[in-house]
Amino acid sequence: MRLTALLAAALFWLAPVPALAEGEAAAIVAANRDQIEKPSRQSIGQVVTALAASGDPMADDILAAWAEKRLVVRKADQALFLATPEGDGFALTALDGTPAGTAAKAELTALKPNAGVRSVISSALVQFTLSDPDPAKRRAALDSIARDTSPETLAPLRASIPTEDDPGLRAQKERLERILALRFDPDSAARVAAIRALGTDTALDTRAALNPLVATTRIAALKAPGGNVARVLVPGRDLTEAEAYDLLVAANLAPARLTAEDQRAALVANIVEGKVGGVPVADLNTEAARDRAYTALEASGAVPVAATDDEAAKVLAAHRFYDVFTEPDPAVTTAATDALAKIDRKVAAMQAVDLGLDALSLAAIYFLAAIGLAITFGVMGVINMAHGEFITIGAYTGYVVQLFVPDYTLSLLVALPLAFAVTFAAGVAMERLVISHLYRRPLETLLATFGISIALQQILKNVFGTQARPLTAPAWLDGALTFNDVVSISYIRIAIFLLALLFLLFFLWLMKRTRLGLEARAVTQNPAMAASMGINPDRIAMLTFGLGSGIAGIAGVAIGLYAKVTSEMGADYIVQSFMTVVVGGVGNVWGTLAGATMIGSLQKLIEFLNPSNTLAAQTYMILFIILFIQFRPRGIIALRGRAAGD
């Protein structure tokens, strides 16, 4: 009867209904009052359908009031009204929409349809909402149906599609209709068509609708079951013998397995005159004898029935095991399996794209952290272990700026050049006071800068404390650029990627097109010859070191928007920065870019393969790089010319 009512409703909704005079809904209620006051789900369908198809503007109000138990009978004259709470009583509205005064609660009797009748009414009300002139209400109705799917909503949803004039809402309705059809349509061909129409839609709701269609139940039987079998299982290959026997026990096809402890306890408890079940105690030194004795005790009722190993093996051999689809229609499960396989392949491809985006964004972070080091170490040959602390100083500079400039966009514009100036000055001071006295002495330089690194960390702890400080990104950097349910990338990472690209172009312009770059390259390749040409090597070394330190400060601001700002922040990037420069090729900006890309991609790949242990990922990456340097000691892009031999 439920199906008949739904089909009747669909025919009413699909057929053209002439506009009837206002008051038609009231006439329908009056003609069917007995059924309305004492409704049943089996008989009320025609009344609800007639109201839904009447065309009367009051029909949906009457149906809604009836479902919400606001359709009332006034005791004085037995007239029907729509009741709305007002003060201590109710405001009454006649069924033709005219106001009818107020009444106290005691003067009214509310009609209370049961859950089945309310379900039929709700299905009819869907038609009104899905065809409402307001697009917002139609969209809200679609969202409501998607959240709480039911078979009753399929027919009205289909009926509303031909009259939908909004292309976006029409597409949403058609997609939702397919999702409902593959679950609730009684026609197998229609369900298969809906599955195929969805194609490789990777949305979560599509997969959530398809997955139950391929769900299986594991069963044991003496012969092949009559259901939709997914596959035949072989004990010992597809499932363990213990799991197979547990299925038999759960299906009451075999007794529980007899354990060695239970068998021993039963045999000891039933020793009578030196025998157990007729078997002498002295003969119970073999498994077969113990099994024989226990079987005899079972026959006498002295112990509960349980399967010995031999009995369990015989029972297993006599039964077959299957995975059976919970969906009985083989055509539907075949279509769903094929669709999910295609979706899985597409999801895997999108996961690869998402992993690639993560690798590129991490490579951009490493490039930003390493490009300053590419100048101080790659160009000047100075091992600066305090490079990470210059990154930290840049991040703290951004934090301090935000304390005085509350506008995050403006504070970011102020922080970038200020961080460059602060770390440039710090780099110049360190070069003049320490590094300039240690050129051509790499070990002493390493030890000195390592000591400076520790000192700077302690100073930062004393000034800013040990707690992480917030470096807040502007609102326009919140969120992520989302392509679908799988592929997305945060706007902050996009900004860091663009900043890294900007610095790459800046570095190329600086080294290739400016006097400072030309002089720095000349001093790097042959300091004596450069000095004889009028170039001051000390001045160039000072400016180059300051430039590398300043770029590290800008990198600190960018990284601080993404990572936590603490006094140990730079230590998280110093190892990767050195690896980036060495692996890419010392003294080559393209090598630094290649090294950052390689290390970022490798780290993301290892983390993807071993997501539960990031420390192991770091270890594997360092081991790989050690092996890589054994085969390419000069890096991916080796420096050529006279400088390569230094």
Residue 640's pLDDT band, with cuts at 50, 70 and 90, is low
- Predicted pLDDT of residue 613: 63
User: What 3-state DSSP class applies to 307?
Assistant: strand
pLDDT in tens, 526-572: 777 878 888 888 888 888 888 888 888 888 888 888 888 888 888 87
- Predicted pLDDT of residue 464: 87
- Predicted pLDDT of residue 332: 92
CB 384 within 8 A of CB 377: yes
Q: Please compute the mean of the pLDDT values over residues 269-278 and round it to a whole number.
A: 82
Q: Please compute the mean of the pLDDT values over residues 598-612 and round it to a whole number.
A: 80
Residue 420's pLDDT band, with cuts at 50, 70 and 90, is very high
- Residue 589 amino acid letter: V
Q: Please compute the mean of the pLDDT values over residues 436-451 and round it to a whole number.
A: 84
More confident call, 41 vs 247: 247
Among 51, 312, 326, 13, CA closest to 152: 13
**Using alpha carbons only, what angle is made at residue 398 by residues 392 and 403, rounded to the nearest 5 degrees?**
125
For the chain, give the mean pLDDT: 81
- Reply yes or no on whether the pLDDT at 191 is more than 90: yes
Cβ-in-10-Å burial (0-12, 13-18, 19+) of 190 comes to: middle
- The contacts of residue 91 (CB under 8 Å, 6+ apart) are 83, 84, 85, 99, 101, 102
More confident call, 14 vs 485: 485
Cα(511)–Cα(506) distance, integer angstroms: 9
Residue 612's pLDDT band, with cuts at 50, 70 and 90, is low
pLDDT in tens, 375-402: 777 666 777 888 888 999 999 999 999 9
Among 335, 358, 281, CA closest to 608: 358
- Predicted pLDDT of residue 265: 83
List residues bridging with 279 in a β-sheet: 276
Residue 14's pLDDT band, with cuts at 50, 70 and 90, is very low
Residue 299's pLDDT band, with cuts at 50, 70 and 90, is confident
Cα(152)–Cα(454) distance, integer angstroms: 70
Please tell me the pTM assigned to this model: 0.65
Question: What's 378's DSSP letter?
Answer: I
- Reply yes or no on whether the pLDDT at 225 is more than 50: yes
How big, in percent rounded to 5, are the helix, strand and coil portions of the chain?
Answer: 65, 10, 25
- Predicted pLDDT of residue 378: 60
User: What 3-state DSSP class applies to 540?
Assistant: helix
Length of the chain: 646
Integer CA distances (angstroms), 439 to 15, 448, 524, 601, 646, in order: 92, 12, 12, 35, 14
Cα(232)–Cα(619) distance, integer angstroms: 44
Q: What is the dihedral of CA 492, 494, 497, 498, to 10 degrees?
A: -110
Residue 414's pLDDT band, with cuts at 50, 70 and 90, is very high
pLDDT in tens, 345-374: 988 888 888 888 888 888 888 888 888 777
- Residue 138 amino acid letter: R
Cβ-in-10-Å burial (0-12, 13-18, 19+) of 439 comes to: middle
Cα(646)–Cα(633) distance, integer angstroms: 14
The percentage of residues in the chain with a pLDDT greater than 90, rounded to a whole number, is: 10
Helices (H), 21-134: 24-31, 33-37, 45-53, 59-67, 115-130
Q: Please compute the mean of the pLDDT values over residues 501-524 and round it to a whole number.
A: 82
- Reply yes or no on whether the pLDDT at 259 is more than 80: no
Owner of token pair 């109705």: 141
Helices 571-584 and 330-373 meet at what angle, rounded to 10?
90
- Predicted pLDDT of residue 417: 92
More confident call, 175 vs 55: 175
- Residue 306 amino acid letter: A
- Reply yes or no on whether the pLDDT at 454 is more than 70: yes
Cα(561)–Cα(473) distance, integer angstroms: 6
More confident call, 529 vs 18: 529
- Reply yes or no on whether the pLDDT at 15 is more than 50: no
18: left (phi over 0), alpha (psi -120 to 50) or beta: beta
Cα(481)–Cα(620) distance, integer angstroms: 31
User: What 3-state DSSP class applies to 324?
Assistant: strand
pLDDT in tens, 20-74: 445 777 788 888 877 777 777 666 777 777 776 666 778 778 877 877 888 888 8
- Reply yes or no on whether the pLDDT at 296 is more than 70: yes
DSSP letters, 476-509, are GG-SEEESSSS-EEEHHHHHHHHHHHHHHHHHHH
- Reply yes or no on whether the pLDDT at 7 is more than 70: no
- Predicted pLDDT of residue 4: 39
The domains of the chain, with CATH numbers, are 2-130 (no CATH), 217-325 (no CATH), 348-645 (1.10.3470)
